[in-house]
């Protein structure tokens, strides 16, 4: 495909984030606002507006990133009211829901201001059935709300008509395929390999007839075409192992056989999925084995632009597309505990598994002055003006505490991260999502050809080089982005120790229910366990949990 239409394509890759999906949602809110403003000004006939176009043909991700990708696909055909500010007054409007914005409503409002109470509720444990340590029933309600479509059918030129959206999944049963070895063994020399990395792939369409035999499931929210499958996939990609319950996804096996991402199973190993019945999988969080599906987004862009040469798509003068990754938890160097004690080894092992599942964003992109054009990264950065400190990564976001679960403790944490995401996106688009001022790339040469005054679109990077914005920004640059003042009268939210302690009885109750329903016990065993829980066990575990929470909040400076 050529670029005679002067279109530059941006593929969105959203990493796993748990409650820090609030940050990713804020990024998306501002990104859409910026593109909307550009389209509006171009339509007005303003001669000083760049004429090239940006189109988003694909969005995909893991866990919270996969969920946000589905929310994005659901929202783009209806009105999206950006949440630019919130107010705190005597009516506590800081916490007022924003139902007109699916990103905010899904990630900040959730279903309650007090989400810790929701997670600790024991109504999900019935008849001896235990599916997760925490109550995950609330996710179903949010998913139903997110995929609900209005009667609007807004056409946005910066979104591909057949937008592709996908989520990563961890298929617990796995997909078997064989590799044949030469061997002198008398037994079968076939070596069975099980792959657990799965994908649920969708494409916006008008009808089932739009299926192109490529594995991308037709999806239409207004007509409710395959919305049940996309809802299940969105929930499944966020099913954090053990903490939140595993989920099932049922698809027609033809979608698996037709998807070229599974060619190594279906074609190379000649083991297609049986089509005699629907293909049902039990899944946990997609980020467990594929947290940042960067290469999958890149492959789709390559299919569109036909730029399969690294020299082309990594060159600012040649590239026709790029991957924009949004990652609330970018890779960072951490101090390693070399102790061989079991508790250290367990922690290090889990850390190794998580690291191995990720694309190391530090090896892909330095958004400040990178010479690579094929990938960009938006990640958390905030400034502590009191201590004159620049803070990056998980400590820049309030939801980064408790391994990403911190946002469920306080709505103010989610509000902060949403607005940080908006602010970081604005600065990124203004200062870093750029090309050299004197680029020879035809898309931007033509796009800026009739702009007499390029000054508003020129920025200077850290090397002193002048650059042109890929997506022009029309709002004025300010030294400090908008951030509400929280209950503590600061721009950084905190909670009090006694607030955490107030949940002790609920934590104890949940622990008792979990222990008593974890396995099948005799009547005597159950009585003894119940007594043990009441007298010793749940109290000790609750104290340990509260100590861990307190320590995490102290580390992230979230404790007042």
Q: Which two structure tokens, joined as six digits, stand for 335?
A: 């101090």
CA dist 31 to 211, 238, 425, 533, 557, Å?
29, 23, 7, 50, 29
Could you tell me whether strands 7-14 and 321-326 are parallel, antiparallel, or unpaired per DSSP bridges?
parallel
Q: What tokens were used for 104?
A: 């905010």
Is 63 noted as a catalytic residue in this protein? Answer: yes
Bridge-based pairing of strands 159-180 and 53-61 is parallel
What gap in Å lies between CA 491 and CA 493, rounded to an integer? 6
- Pairing, β 389-392 against β 434-436: unpaired
**Distance between CA 15 and CA 521 in Å, rounded?**
41
Spatial neighbors of 289 by CB under 8 A, at least 6 apart, are 168, 170, 196, 197, 357
Separation of alpha carbons 244 and 240, rounded Å:
5
Cβ atoms 281, 247 nearer than 8 A: no
> Active site residue: 63, 69, 197, 357, which one?
63
Are β-strands 190-204 and 159-180 bridged in parallel, bridged antiparallel, or unpaired?
antiparallel
Q: How far apart are CA 227 and CA 205, in angstroms?
A: 12
Which entry of 109, 285, 327, 431 is annotated as an active-site residue?
Answer: 285
Alpha-carbon span 48 to 289, nearest angstrom: 47
Residues annotated as catalytic are 63, 285
């Amino acid at each position: 495909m050529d670029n005679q239409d002067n279109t530059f394509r941006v593929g969105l890759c959203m990493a796993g984030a748990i409650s820090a999906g609030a940050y990713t949602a804020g990024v998306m809110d501002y990104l859409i606002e910026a593109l909307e403003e550009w389209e509006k000004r171009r339509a007005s006939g303003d001669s000083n507006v760049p004429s090239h176009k940006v189109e988003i043909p694909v969005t995909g991700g893991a866990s919270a990133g996969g969920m946000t990708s589905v929310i994005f696909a659901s929202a783009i055909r209806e009105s999206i009211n950006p949440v630019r500010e919130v107010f705190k007054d005597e009516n506590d409007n800081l916490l007022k829901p924003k139902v007109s914005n699916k990103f905010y409503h899904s990630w900040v409002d959730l279903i309650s201001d007090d989400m810790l109470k929701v997670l600790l509720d024991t109504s999900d444990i019935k008849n001896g059935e235990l599916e997760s340590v925490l109550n995950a029933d609330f996710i179903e309600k949010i998913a139903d709300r997110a995929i609900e479509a209005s009667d609007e059918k807004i056409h946005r030129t910066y979104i591909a008509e057949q937008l592709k959206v996908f989520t990563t999944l961890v298929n617990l049963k796995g997909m078997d395929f064989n590799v044949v070895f030469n061997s002198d063994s008398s037994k079968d020399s076939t070596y069975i390999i099980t792959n657990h990395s799965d994908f649920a792939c969708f494409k916006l369409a008008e009808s089932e007839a739009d299926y192109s035999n490529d594995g991308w499931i037709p999806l239409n929210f207004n007509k409710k075409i395959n919305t049940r499958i996309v809802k299940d996939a969105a929930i499944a990609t966020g099913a954090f192992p053990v903490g939140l319950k595993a989920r099932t996804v049922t698809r027609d096996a033809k979608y698996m056989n037709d998807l070229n991402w599974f060619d190594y199973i279906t074609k190379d190993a000649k083991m297609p999925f049986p089509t005699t019945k629907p293909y049902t999988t039990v899944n946990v969080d997609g980020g467990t084995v594929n947290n940042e599906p960067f290469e999958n987004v890149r492959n789709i862009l390559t299919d569109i632009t036909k730029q399969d040469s690294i020299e082309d798509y990594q060159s600012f003068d040649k590239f026709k597309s790029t991957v924009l990754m949004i990652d609330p938890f970018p890779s960072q160097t951490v101090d390693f505990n070399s102790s061989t004690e079991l508790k250290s080894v367990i922690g290090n092992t889990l850390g190794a598994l998580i690291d191995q599942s990720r694309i190391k964003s530090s090896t892909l992109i330095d958004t400040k002055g990178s010479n690579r054009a094929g990938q960009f990264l938006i990640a958390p950065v905030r400034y502590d003006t009191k201590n004159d400190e620049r803070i990056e990564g998980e400590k820049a976001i309030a939801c980064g505490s408790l391994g990403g679960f911190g946002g469920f403790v306080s709505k103010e944490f989610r509000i902060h991260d949403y607005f940080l995401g908006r602010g970081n996106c604005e600065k990124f688009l203004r200062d870093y999502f750029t090309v050299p001022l004197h680029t020879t790339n035809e898309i931007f040469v033509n796009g800026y050809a009739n702009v007499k005054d390029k000054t508003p679109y020129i920025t200077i990077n850290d090397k002193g080089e002048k650059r042109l914005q890929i997506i022009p920004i029309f709002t004025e640059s300010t030294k400090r982005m908008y951030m509400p003042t929280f209950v503590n009268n600061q721009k950084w939210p905190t909670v009090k120790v006694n607030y955490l302690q107030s949940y002790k009885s609920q934590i104890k109750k949940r622990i008792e229910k979990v222990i008593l329903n974890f396995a099948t016990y005799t009547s005597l065993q159950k009585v003894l366990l119940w007594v043990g829980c009441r007298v010793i066990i749940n109290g000790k575990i609750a104290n340990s949990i509260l100590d861990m929470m307190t320590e995490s909040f102290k580390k992230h400076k979230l404790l007042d």
